[in-house]
Each structure stands twice: as C-alpha cells, then as structure tokens.
C-alpha cells in the first residue's frame, strides 16, 4: 500500500464543482492514468481518497490537498507523469509526496485556512473602518447548523491589501479550522457589508498543525 499527498490548484469551471464531484474527478483521473487505486472493503467499495477542508462552490484555490492510496508502492515521478495528461482542465498539480500509511486523517491536520478576497473598486475608507471595527469586536453573532456562534472565534487575521491598480484590491483573511463549525469568508463579507457576488474568493493556503505526518 502507498499513500501520497497531492497539493494542487483548482480554478476555471471546477470552481463550481462540489466535494463529491471533486472526489469522483480524482478517482476517474487515476483510472485514466492507469494508477492502481486502493478501495475500501464491504458491499460498496469506495476509492481511498481523502480531501482536506472541501472548498465551497464558487471558490478558486491555489492550494488544495488530497491524499490518495494505491495498492502498491509507486515512484512519485511515475505518478506525476501518469496524472498530468489525465487531469481535466481546472486542476494543476503543485507537488506530490509520499505519506506514512498510519498518518492522521488529513482533515484533522488542518489548523487554519488563508484566503485572498478580490474586490473591484471598493470604498477603501469605509472598508478599512469596517475591518477595524471587526477586529475590535469581541462577539459577532452568526448562525451555523442551527447554533448561535461567535464569528470572532474563527477569525485569526484580516487586513486590506491595496493595489497599485486603484480599482482592484484584496482582503487577506485567515480563519481557524474548527471541524464541523468552520467559519467561511462569506460570513466575514456579510459583516463587512460586501455582497458575495461582488467578490472573488481564493483560498491561498492550508496551514497544518504540529501533528502532520
């Protein structure tokens, strides 16, 4: 058995594919590449593919992570060479590495996620004031899965990145990953009174905790 971790970019039309579809895309890609996928046991075997922090619809990402199990040891170079021509448009592989078979589940290793929120011609004075107000708040109520939560508990960092091009600016955002209760960038946008359709959200990094490998 061989477990590998692939870090990849997701963009283009794949922004609008859900978690289960991405899972199927990786399974079909490995089949087209003729790589020996490992499957679970039982009446309905599933390909052993594990994603980290599935990306919401409409987001693009420069750092997605997936673990894939193969039934035998394969050279990393061989995996890369086989996958490249089999990949659909919208996925670009950044790196591939081997992972210990008994390493913790991928989802449990993610401590936080970083985002760039691309904005077109925002009111910088107003936006800076709202970001400052957000940082100064101790409790920001929002609802998640029928629960009242404090959005401030998820927020690790936020600041405005002003561009030389005066019409295009970005918000840097780092959110804590709390399994099952993770805050999302759209929750922050709601507080900042920025309509979701006026922003392009890109996940730029997934930060591991000390249990990696």
Per-residue model confidence as pLDDT tens digits over 114-145: 999 999 888 888 999 999 999 998 888 877 77
> Residue 202 domain-assigned?
yes
| pLDDT recorded at residue 44 | 85
For residue 57, name the pLDDT band (cuts at 50, 70, 90): confident
Structural domain of 34: 2-103
What residue has token string 């400052």? Answer: 132
Structure tokens at 110: 């993610």
| 3-class DSSP assignment, residue 165 | coil
Same-domain pairing of 19 and 62: yes
Give residue 178's pLDDT.
76
Q: Which residues contact 68 (CB under 8 A, 6 or more apart)?
A: 3, 4, 6, 26, 30, 37, 47, 48, 49, 50
Give the CATH number for residue 114: 3.30.70
The alpha helices in the chain, defined as continuous H runs, are: 19-32, 76-83, 124-136, 185-191
Clarify whether residues 75 and 141 are in a common domain.
no
Q: Confirm whether 213 is domain-assigned.
A: no
Where is the domain boundary, 60, 78, 103?
Answer: 103
Answer yes or no: do 99 and 124 share one domain.
no
Same domain for 96 and 186, yes or no, is no
For residues 187 and 114, membership in a common domain is answered with yes
Do 116 and 84 share a domain, yes or no?
Answer: no
Number of structural domains in the chain? 2
Q: Among residues 36, 31, 102, 110, which one has the least CA distance to residue 66? A: 110
Within this chain, do residues 91 and 138 fall inside the same structural domain, yes or no?
Answer: no
Among 74-83, 156-165, 184-193, name the most confident range: 74-83
Whether residues 11 and 75 fall in one domain? yes
pLDDT tops 70 at residue 180: no
pLDDT at 187 over 80: yes
Alpha carbon distance 10, 58 (integer Å): 11
- How would residue 205 be classed by pLDDT, with cut points 50, 70 and 90? very high
High-pLDDT (> 90) share of the chain, %: 59
User: Taking residues 7-32, what's their average pLDDT?
Assistant: 93
pLDDT, residue 92, reads: 96
Task: Please list the residues that pair with 112 across neighbouring strands.
Answer: 176, 207
Residues 16 and 98 in one domain: yes
Domain boundary among 72, 103, 134: 103
What sign does the dihedral 163-203-206-90 (CA atoms) show? negative
Digit-coded pLDDT (tens) for 70-82 = 999 999 999 999 9
């Amino acid at each position: 058995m061989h477990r590998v971790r692939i870090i990849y970019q997701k963009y283009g039309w794949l922004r609008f594919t859900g978690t289960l579809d991405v899972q199927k895309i990786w399974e079909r890609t490995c089949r087209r590449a003729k790589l020996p996928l490992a499957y679970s046991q039982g009446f309905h075997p599933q390909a052993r593919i594990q994603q980290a922090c599935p990306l919401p619809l409409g987001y693009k990402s420069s750092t997605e992570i997936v673990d894939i199990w193969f039934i035998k040891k394969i050279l990393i170079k061989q995996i890369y060479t086989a996958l490249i021509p089999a990949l659909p448009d919208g996925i670009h592989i950044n790196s591939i590495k081997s992972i210990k078979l008994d390493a913790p589940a991928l989802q449990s290793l993610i401590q936080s996620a970083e985002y760039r929120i691309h904005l077109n011609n925002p009111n910088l004075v107003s936006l800076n004031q709202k970001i400052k107000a957000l940082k100064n708040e101790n409790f920001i109520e929002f609802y998640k899965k029928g629960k009242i939560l404090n959005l401030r508990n998820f927020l690790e960092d936020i600041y405005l990145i002003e561009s030389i091009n005066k019409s295009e600016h970005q918000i840097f955002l780092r959110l804590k990953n709390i399994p099952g209760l993770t805050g999302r960038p759209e929750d922050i946008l709601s507080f900042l009174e920025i309509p979701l359709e006026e922003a392009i959200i890109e996940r730029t990094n997934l930060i591991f905790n000390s249990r990696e490998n």
